[in-house]
Structure 1
């Protein structure tokens, strides 16, 4: 069987084209520890609701340090733990927290914040911030690295 040059070209090109077109959005960038370390993020919304920081000493924040150590402020109490990253999911394992009394909306933010960080949550990262989302909550952070 003799193939024309056009048929031969089509036969060779078709598998390559089909593979290229078969992309289903799985081209999501893998987040690495290096993407997260040495950054500080300020919580700007919980479940789409803006976090109000007026009247507080500091707003809720998440800082990832060397070796994925995690710490920050959950709204009222300070926290610390070991950050873990696996397949674009993030959690803070063995989270420890101070025990100040918190009331009202500050406590609601703190509970959503600590619950989301304690559980595995899907993470998406942009140049300006990150989003953590699980079955219960969506936390949106803006990058707020301190400048010396």
Structure 2
């Protein structure tokens, strides 16, 4: 009887976890700095970043605008629910290109590759390379 109860409890806990995989848990509670877009380095002064918090709440700086919302990981892909963002005018063309790449990739969804302190999000139009941000 105790064995059946333990087995049932383990099965229920696994089901309730919703299939959380290692990538999902490794993404949470991290802050990532954008390093490359399509393999090209991103200037440090742009400061684009992505923070992933509890329950996959995401926020960050796309280029010149801040964004926030929630995301989910399904079948190895990160996809943001419709994101809210500030609406400042980007004066620099290079910053606008970075912002477009980040927001497009998060909204359309991207395959996740997580290796040590590197996060790569590969979408249909852009590949974003992030590095784990230094702790403040």
Which portions of structure 1, spanning 4 or more consecutive aligned residues, are displaced by more than 6 angstroms? none
Q: Provide the residue aligned with 1:107 in structure 2.
A: 96
Higher helix share: 2
Deviation by residue 1:37-74 (Cα, 9 ceiling, x = unmatched): 100000000001110133x5xx0000000111000100
Q: Provide the residue aligned with 2:40 in structure 1.
A: 49
Q: Is the 8 A contact 1:31 1:125 kept in 2?
A: no
Deviation by residue 1:99-137 (Cα, 9 ceiling, x = unmatched): 000031000000011000111211100111200002200
TM-score, structure 2 as length reference: 0.80
TM-score, structure 1 as length reference: 0.73
Q: Provide the residue aligned with 1:118 in structure 2.
A: 107
Q: Which has the larger radius of gyration?
A: 1
Cα distance in 1 for partners of 2:75, 2:38 equals 23
- Structure 2 stretches lacking a partner, 5+ long: 1-20
Q: Provide the residue aligned with 2:8 in structure 1.
A: none
Output aligned runs, 1:1-40, within 5 Å: 30-40=21-31
- Structure 1 stretches lacking a partner, 5+ long: 1-29
